[in-house]
Structure 1
Amino acid sequence: MPAGGPLDHPLSDILTHGLNVYTPECDMMIRELDKIVGSEVLFKMFDWLDDLSASESDKLEFEKKVRIKYLMLKEQ
């Protein structure tokens, strides 16, 4: 079981440890989504991409999914 330290999960890396994981814009949107829905809902919202083994195209595709949710929830 992960201890909750850096590199255990991309979401905790971004929110708890302040690490830059995906792209700067994607990380910013994830931080803003946390303010809107909270980390528990945010955790369930996505199939979190393993940032250490993901290709750049995978990261860009993940960012598109985050952007869609971010824009949708920001407008509410």
Structure 2
Amino acid sequence: MGRKFIDCREFPSEMNCSIAIGADTEGELLEAAVQHAVKVHGHQDTPELRDMLRSVIKDGMPPEKAPSRAA
């Protein structure tokens, strides 16, 4: 099983967050991403947030260069 990641640089934010979170399992990654979203970005831990985060999980490692941000 390969690494999985979520890259905060792909989403617009006022703070231009440059965090990328990686883990060996989707569950571990999801928990870390939820904690980041709640503590750093002020989101509420809701089923909708978890579904959104689950939908943006990618296989592999985040790129070194920041991807273009979503509009």
Place the TM-score, normalised by the shorter chain, in its bin.
0.3 to 0.5
Instruction: Report 1 or 2 for greater relative contact order, CA contacts < 8 Å, sequence distance ≥ 6.
Output: 2
TM-score when scaled to structure 1?
A: 0.32
